[in-house]
Structure 1
Amino acid sequence: MIFQDNVIKEYLKNVYFITGTPCGGKTTVSRALAEKYGFELFDVDERFDEHKKMSNPLFQPAMNTYFNSADEFFGRTVEEYKNWLLNNTREQLEFVLLDLIRLSENKKVLCDCHLTVAQALAFSEPARVVFLIKDPSNLVDEYGNRPDHQGFFQYLNSATDIEKAKQTVNITLYELNVNRIEEIKSSSFFWIERTVDSTVESTLTCVEKHLGLI
């Protein structure tokens, strides 16, 4: 069954989307907003294992790909790694949309997620979407040092050639996001770019104003 965009938008009218690129501040801002306003917080990454249990390898092959070791995981080409990440996100999206429809029926939900500009246009309105972005160069150390990504960082450090594994991740994240950032900046959506001068407080205030919360 295929649902038209206007139908999905109607059923997701109680959902705010905080999306963007890695290390842009999505998780920090989403958690702060959810706590301040009492919104239901829906973190796509935290729901992955739950969605994987419901998935079918025939229909969601990327979500069900198994790697024997860190060397196998990080030993892929950048193109293979990129395609796997993109397919994972695409396959999980159906589970995410159905969860959001159910959760937001009678309350506001804040979704920390990975939407493209096209998906944001299809599922929501600019007034309910914020893109938080960051220069995608050399993200691996910052990404891996976050408390919620310690499992990934430990896995990376179990690779035989750690520096090569880091290089693969850095190149993959850069190639996935460099053009995406330009697309976001030229779109009709509100965006904030994280820099060395950014603060959580200033970013949070800008997001609140855009979403009409203050």
Structure 2
Amino acid sequence: MKIRNNILKYYLKNCIFINGTAYAGKSTMCKMLAKKYDLILCGENYGLDRLLQIITPEEQPNLSYFKTMKDWQEFINRTPDEYLAWIMGNSREAADFEIAELIRLSGDKRTIVDTNIPLEILKQLADYNQVAIMLSPQSLSVDMFFERDDEEKLFLLSQIKQAADPEKTLQNFRDCLAKFNSQEIYDEWLNSGFFTIVRNDAETDTRLETVDALARHFGL
């Protein structure tokens, strides 16, 4: 079964999307805009528990990777090309779920989405004023990855320390992050044709100015 794009676009008309690179402020902006303008918030990994109940290795091999992998050492020692293919595969497979979930959630109320839906799909399902791209330099995405004190990153770091060669494994994982945050992929975001905001450093607090710029763009 295939649902035509014009039908999906109609049912997603109340959704506004923020996508882009890590450490660009996407999650923060979604939360601030949702609070300020009384929007439904679909934050990072929204609906993950439901998604995990639905996926199967046959239909969603990338999303099911954590069920099928040998162990965490396999995960952290994949090549950069393998890591990139997995990340891209996750985005494509999750897009089906995101679209279905957003149709269910958005209804008649505007909804802001911290999304990973690929650019080529967003271009088919959303208008210019429904999408914003937020970007940060590769140095932020790679060098600051383990500086966030959250459980996921602390767990990965603990697994890297258990590797046969922790320094080599850490460098390999950084190479994986760099591959996903390469200049080529950055340029795809930058030249997507969507409204774009670039975060050039992590020191200056530009949250209020960015919220205002996004609100104007989205027509809030």
Global fold match (TM > 0.5): yes
| Alignment partner, residue 27 of structure 2 | 27
Q: 1:140 to 1:175 in 2, by over 3 A?
A: closer
Q: 1:182 to 1:198 in 2, by over 3 A?
A: farther
C-alpha separation between the residues in 2 aligned to 1:206 and 1:137? 24
Q: 1:10 to 1:162 in 2, by over 3 A?
A: farther
| Alignment partner, residue 136 of structure 1 | 138
In the TM superposition, 1:201-212 aligns within 5 A as 201-212=208-219
Residue by residue over 1:42-62, the C-alpha shift from the partner in whole angstroms, topping out at 9 and shown as x without a partner, is 125243342021112210111
Q: Are 1:10 and 2:5 counterparts?
A: no
Any conservation in 2 of the 1:145–1:153 contact (CA below 8 Å)? Answer: no
| Alignment partner, residue 174 of structure 1 | 178
1:137, distance to aligned residue in structure 2 (A): 3.2
Q: Which runs of 5+ in 2 are unaligned?
A: none
Of 105, 108, 121 in structure 2, the residue corresponding to residue 106 of structure 1 is: 108
1:152, distance to aligned residue in structure 2 (A): 3.0
In the TM superposition, 1:1-214 aligns within 5 A as 1-66=1-66, 67-137=69-139, 139-146=141-148, 149-159=150-160, 160=163, 161-177=165-181, 178-196=183-201, 197=204, 199-213=206-220
Counterpart amino acid of residue 217 in structure 2: H
Q: Once the two structures are aligned, what percentage of the paired residues are identical?
A: 30
Any conservation in 1 of the 2:23–2:140 contact (CA below 8 Å)? Answer: no
1:198, distance to aligned residue in structure 2 (A): 5.4
Q: Work out the number of aligned pairs and report it.
A: 212
Residue by residue over 1:40-82, the C-alpha shift from the partner in whole angstroms, topping out at 9 and shown as x without a partner, is 1112524334202111221011111233443221111111111
Any conservation in 1 of the 2:142–2:178 contact (CA below 8 Å)? Answer: no
Residue by residue over 1:25-52, the C-alpha shift from the partner in whole angstroms, topping out at 9 and shown as x without a partner, is 1101111111111111112524334202
1:206, distance to aligned residue in structure 2 (A): 1.2
TM-score using structure 1 length: 0.89
Q: 1:46 to 1:169 in 2, by over 3 A?
A: farther
1:169, distance to aligned residue in structure 2 (A): 3.3
Residue by residue over 1:76-111, the C-alpha shift from the partner in whole angstroms, topping out at 9 and shown as x without a partner, is 111111111111121111111000011111211110
Any conservation in 2 of the 1:62–1:84 contact (CA below 8 Å)? Answer: yes
Any conservation in 2 of the 1:44–1:113 contact (CA below 8 Å)? Answer: yes
TM-score using structure 2 length: 0.87
Secondary structure at the counterpart of residue 65 of structure 2: coil
Counterpart amino acid of residue 151 in structure 1: E
Counterpart amino acid of residue 124 in structure 1: A
1:115, distance to aligned residue in structure 2 (A): 3.2
Any conservation in 1 of the 2:18–2:115 contact (CA below 8 Å)? Answer: yes
